[in-house]
Structure 1
């Protein structure tokens, strides 16, 4: 698949503004978007781990699983 197609999928569908981007620009924007998602997920996971870490040991894993399921690593 092309970067433009992957970017459209990541953004939830085709956007007319993407037609103004070159293939190189679309690839760079896709890379930045995925990097931002990864950083956001890592930050959220770290914050949740700190909050859950304040709970007594036997409750930590269960509380995290109940609140977030498999959404966080």
Structure 2
């Protein structure tokens, strides 16, 4: 089963640009869980970038990756 989530950055980016398009984007996000952020996630995202698992300019993409988790039982 999958859960659709968005990062806080996505919610900010959704409000940018053309006001009509921004409103539609923001409405699309209604009801979608927003991933929490904290310094631990920032550290993990920085490590992803440091290890070149993602490009240096991809911090906005590394944060949601850092927030994912797996149940490894």
TM-score under structure 2 length normalisation: 0.30
Q: Which has the higher strand share?
A: 2
Comparing both chains, which one has the higher relative contact order based on Cα–Cα distances under 8 Å and sequence gaps of 6 or more? 2
Whichever of the two has the greater Rg, that structure is 1
